[in-house]
Amino acid sequence: MSLVTVRRFTVATADEMRDLGAMLGRTCRASDVIVLTGDLGAGKTTFTQGLAVGLGIDEAVTSPTFVIARVHPSAGAGPDLVHVDAYRLGSAVELDELDLEADLNRSVVVVEWGGGLVGGLAETPIDVSIVRSDDEADETRTVTVSALGNQWETALADGESIT
């Protein structure tokens, strides 16, 4: 039986956000779908940069806002990274038109602003929610990761358990 793991992390810097992404990336496998939610500037792309490092991606990762999706090939035997920005997409149908299923068997797919849109792509995506502090001078973020599967219990062990 698979376990649902929900952990909360406090992240104080962009480097810590990348480190958290890298930690998650080292556990990801091809066909994993990650949904990132958070306000503008919360750190979704920064998290994805770290995820790419954890996956062994050598090239720079930038926001795909204007191109909607970018494929970052693996430098080794690991999965590729497909990075999608669904901010300008109006529906799950528009996301389906990107034909991400074709890449899923060899890639980890990350969808920024993907809440409620990836149901056809993954029955149980990994949800990552990033919330900024209410104090504008405070750069701290609270990152909540929810994942189904026994491998995540160990991978996310450093976070605060949420039941």
- Residue 146 maps to which CATH number? 3.40.50.300
Compute and round to an integer the Cα radius of gyration of the chain. Answer: 15
pTM of this structure: 0.86
CA torsion sign for 140, 32, 52, 41 is negative
Has residue 99 got a pLDDT over 70?
no
More confident residue, 6 or 71: 6
> What value does the mean pLDDT of the chain take?
82
Has residue 136 got a pLDDT over 60?
yes
Given this model, what pLDDT does residue 92 score? 52
**Residue 163 placed within a domain:** no
Give me the domain span that covers residue 14: 4-155
- Which tokens sit at 44? 């979704």
Among residues 67, 64, 65, 36, the alpha carbon closest in space to that of 51 is found at 36
More confident residue, 140 or 100: 140
Number of domains making up the chain? 1
